[in-house]
Structure 1
Amino acid sequence: MSTALTRTPDPDLLGGRRERALVGLAWGALVLNVLTYAETATVVPLPQLVGSALTQGAVLVALLLALLANPGAVVRPQLFLLLLTVLAIGATAASLYSEFLLSATYRAGRMVLFVVVLWLLSTCFGRRDMLLLRMHRLSLAVVMGTVYVGALVAPGLAFAFQDRLAGVLWPIPPTQVAHYAAVLLGTSLLLWMCRLVAGVRAGLMVLLSLLPLVATHTRTAVIGVVVAMLVASLSLVVGHVRVRRTLVVAGGGGAVLAALFVSPLTVWLLRGQSADEANRLTGRTDVWGAVADLERPWVEDLFGWGLSDQSFNGLPIDSSWVATYVDQGWLGVGVQAAVLLLLLMLAVVHRPGPERAVALFLVVYCIVASITETGLGAPSVYLLDLTVAASLLVPGWRARQP
């Protein structure tokens, strides 16, 4: 009893509701900034100019809110953010001599502001209340809420693209819906296994994340969740009975379901495609081959030709590695690889626990998804995922002060 009465309060919880609210709003603005507005059918159509202004202007709102949360502009040294800064500077330099000077420089400027906001939020790294993870999950849950509302209001419109679930209140393609659902699903399961979230609440979140993940028919997200959950769960095996039981049940149940429903699973995975189309990753390999055959000066090969819409000859690249090579050259590819390697090394040396497990899940998921999706070389929800992972792998700086 005396120990409980004399326990030192957690300094992370003394920052005040106002600070936490400002951080949450700033993070939500960053999430809005990476929700690219596409010209697709929606329940309430907005002009392209208005939708783009809302998303692109959100980074300025995030900057203002981050300054209010951190009025002294105090930043915490972070090698992870330093690498993102190098990536932003390289993108800016390459954009200045790009053939599409205005658009490339504009995208590079947005990336610089994006990284500046992350620097201002670096004081939240290492918090024991995992503030950035909570705000990230809350923001993604709000986005998924719009997907659910859109599917209930206009189901025909929501499943108009190859019977795959998409956002129609705000235009969100099925691959991104799957990404948000996958992150919520994996983090909810891990927090439950670590006894940080109650069973009913975790079960509800898992169910509400699993349904859209299946409805999007996105193979990359499913594979990413399975691989990332396996790696994250193995990091918790020692000392967590619930984790060991969950792995046994999930492994046995998954094997039985795969054996009983092999035919429906095959149909779901193929999505009506032929085996050749599936092997060519829905035409992605054709674009990657065209990029591999590209001949350009050594300067562009090293530094790229500036930030673009991550397409090649009008076709989507759909690979973070190939898109980064096109836009930022081998320098960008090297920095991107260094970011992922740094986070993996930090996870290896970090103490076992929920922080390391969730961080491993986010990093491994991004690695798997980077093969067939873009985002690691430019402002995107993938960079926000990695930022959350980095914040969890930093030891609490306030706790180290005498």
Structure 2
Amino acid sequence: MTTLTALAARLPKPGFRPVPPERRRRRRVQLVWALLVLNVLTFFPDFDLLIPIPGPVGKLIAQGSLLVAALLVLTVNRPIRVRPSVYIFLATLLVTEAIISSLRAEFLLGALYRSGRLSLFVLVLWLLSPWWTRRDLLLIRTHLMVLWAIIGSVVLGLVIAPGIAMSDERLAGVIWPIPPTQAGHYAAVATGLTAVLWLAGLLRKELALLSVLIAVPVLLLTHTRTALVALLAGVLIAGLSLFTARRRVRRSFAIGIGIFSVGALTLGSVVTTWLARGQDPEEVGALTGRRAVWEAILAQPRSTFETLFGFGLSNKSFTGLPIDSNWLGTYYDAGLLGVAFNVAMVLFVLVGAWFTPQGPRRALALFLVAYCVVASFTETGLSEASPYLLELTLAASLVYPRPSREGA
């Protein structure tokens, strides 16, 4: 009787379906990636939110998510295995160089904290490398789902409190503090990934259309010029990589050229006004004050060590003003060596895309790397834990050689 009772207890109950181990691992990988995105959603304590979040609580949520991601990835990557990757090796060299430069930083504790965070961030990315070559594009689809969730929170804030969300005539997130530039970035990347997936035949037309109809207005309401230009450049390059293989791409390009021609003739003044963003020609030419900061960084006296290694990881500001350039920000923080590692990481992805067979993976990689390159001139992020580093890593994962027989 005891044996029968024990056997009955082990049998699945009616209506109960155990989750397969592979699905559980996939869900944990997706959660790890979502936690990485949460970590780079910088919390701004002075932001006007619908539900006020105390500064220490918000920072704990954002920064603590990286530690949770590190612990969680160890539960799914057992025994620990990683894929050898030149890209991650270059990122590790960047981390090492950042630690060396931070040891001599003026604000030692802050620089070392940022270096430690970058180290852990890159370590988690490396532990996720076994999932780079999946046929189902798990990391890309997860990133897109997380972006949709972020954009949904921005739209929800706009619907509930439009006055707060558009307080500076630029759309911002008011459920979680998301500045207009970041909201525009997330909307642009979501639009681009959706468009490329649809052009490659990997996304249903209805879902792609719904996503674009929501994300594009968000992008336009943020008035983020960099994100718009980077989006157009990325989609153009990705589309050209599929041009000869997909009739859908050729038809879309023809329609797009027609719409662009008509729009240029009829809506030229509207586009010019949107791009000017209320600024006069002098302000536009000075890149909204960026040029003054850039010139001051280049004119700053440096020792040989500071020229090579920089001044240590900072919050990407100079004399209290944002640097707003990945290359000058990296030069200021990590010196010429840091810039060299950044350039090598980007070139590695571009060369890898060149040798990747024509198809969705190559197109997606080209979109992401093109977007990062264009945005890097007025945005920072490739030398720190940021959305840009995540997206460049996604591009590197797409051009990684796939074994001929690897499960999805």
Question: Does 1:372 find its partner at 2:378?
Answer: yes
Residue pairs, 1:150-169, within 5 angstroms = 150-161=157-168, 163-169=169-175
What is the CA-CA distance between 1:255 and the residue it aligns to? 1.5
**Structure 1 contact 128–396 (Cα < 8 Å) conserved:** no
- Determine which structure has more spread, i.e. the larger CA radius of gyration: 2
What is the CA-CA distance between 1:285 and the residue it aligns to? 0.6
Residue pairs, 1:62-81, within 5 angstroms = 62-81=69-88
2:304 is matched with: 298
- Deviation sequence 1:280-315 (CA, Å, 0-9, x none): 110001100100111111101100111110000000
| Partner Cα separation in structure 2 for residue 73 and residue 277 of structure 1 | 52
1:113 is matched with: 120
**Structure 1 contact 217–268 (Cα < 8 Å) conserved:** yes
Question: Does 1:40 find its partner at 2:47?
Answer: yes
Unaligned runs of 5+ in 1: 1-13
**Structure 2 contact 111–313 (Cα < 8 Å) conserved:** yes
- Deviation sequence 1:335-389 (CA, Å, 0-9, x none): 0000110000000010000110011000000000000011011000001111111
Q: 1:95 aligns with which of 92, 102, 113?
A: 102
Amino acid at match of 1:88: V
Amino acid at match of 1:357: A
Residue pairs, 1:309-328, within 5 angstroms = 309-328=315-334
Which stretch of the first structure deviates more once superposed, 258-267 or 388-397?
388-397
1:222 is matched with: 228
State the percentage of identical aligned residues.
48
What is the CA-CA distance between 1:150 and the residue it aligns to? 0.9
What is the CA-CA distance between 1:397 and the residue it aligns to? 3.1
Q: 1:170 aligns with which of 168, 173, 176?
A: 176
| Partner Cα separation in structure 2 for residue 352 and residue 239 of structure 1 | 8
Amino acid at match of 1:159: M
| Partner Cα separation in structure 1 for residue 305 and residue 221 of structure 2 | 44
Q: 1:245 aligns with which of 239, 251, 259?
A: 251
**Structure 1 contact 34–381 (Cα < 8 Å) conserved:** yes
Q: 1:330 aligns with which of 327, 336, 356?
A: 336
| Partner Cα separation in structure 1 for residue 232 and residue 110 of structure 2 | 38
| Partner Cα separation in structure 1 for residue 155 and residue 138 of structure 2 | 26
What is the CA-CA distance between 1:141 and the residue it aligns to? 1.0
**Structure 1 contact 306–328 (Cα < 8 Å) conserved:** yes
TM-score normalised to structure 2 length? 0.93
TM-score normalised to structure 1 length? 0.94
What is the CA-CA distance between 1:400 and the residue it aligns to? 6.6
Q: 1:282 aligns with which of 275, 288, 293?
A: 288
| Partner Cα separation in structure 2 for residue 249 and residue 271 of structure 1 | 28
| Partner Cα separation in structure 2 for residue 97 and residue 399 of structure 1 | 49
Question: Does 1:31 find its partner at 2:37?
Answer: yes
2:212 is matched with: 206
Q: 2:347 aligns with which of 329, 341, 346?
A: 341
Q: 2:390 aligns with which of 359, 365, 384?
A: 384
Equivalent position SS for 1:16: helix
Equivalent position SS for 1:397: coil
What is the CA-CA distance between 1:396 and the residue it aligns to? 2.1
| Partner Cα separation in structure 2 for residue 168 and residue 336 of structure 1 | 33
**Structure 1 contact 29–62 (Cα < 8 Å) conserved:** yes
Amino acid at match of 1:188: T
1:8 is matched with: none
1:53 is matched with: 60
Question: Does 1:145 find its partner at 2:166?
Answer: no
**Structure 2 contact 134–406 (Cα < 8 Å) conserved:** no
Q: Give the CA RMSD over aligned residues.
A: 1.2
| Partner Cα separation in structure 2 for residue 356 and residue 252 of structure 1 | 27
| Partner Cα separation in structure 2 for residue 318 and residue 361 of structure 1 | 22
| Partner Cα separation in structure 1 for residue 73 and residue 84 of structure 2 | 17
2:17 is matched with: none
What is the CA-CA distance between 1:395 and the residue it aligns to? 2.3
| Partner Cα separation in structure 2 for residue 396 and residue 93 of structure 1 | 35
What is the CA-CA distance between 1:15 and the residue it aligns to? 6.7
Which stretch of the first structure deviates more once superposed, 37-46 or 361-370?
37-46
- Structure 1: 4+ residue segments shifted above 4 A: none
Unaligned runs of 5+ in 2: 1-19
Q: 1:17 aligns with which of 19, 23, 29?
A: 23
Amino acid at match of 2:350: L
What is the CA-CA distance between 1:45 and the residue it aligns to? 1.3
Q: 2:92 aligns with which of 85, 89, 93?
A: 85
2:13 is matched with: none
**Structure 1 contact 150–167 (Cα < 8 Å) conserved:** yes
Equivalent position SS for 1:99: coil
What is the CA-CA distance between 1:127 and the residue it aligns to? 1.1
**Structure 2 contact 165–174 (Cα < 8 Å) conserved:** yes
In structure 2, relative to structure 1, the CA distance for the partners of 1:400 and 1:192 (3 Å cut) is closer
Amino acid at match of 1:381: P
Amino acid at match of 2:114: R
Equivalent position SS for 2:371: helix
What is the CA-CA distance between 1:187 and the residue it aligns to? 1.0
1:126 is matched with: 133
**Structure 1 contact 192–202 (Cα < 8 Å) conserved:** yes
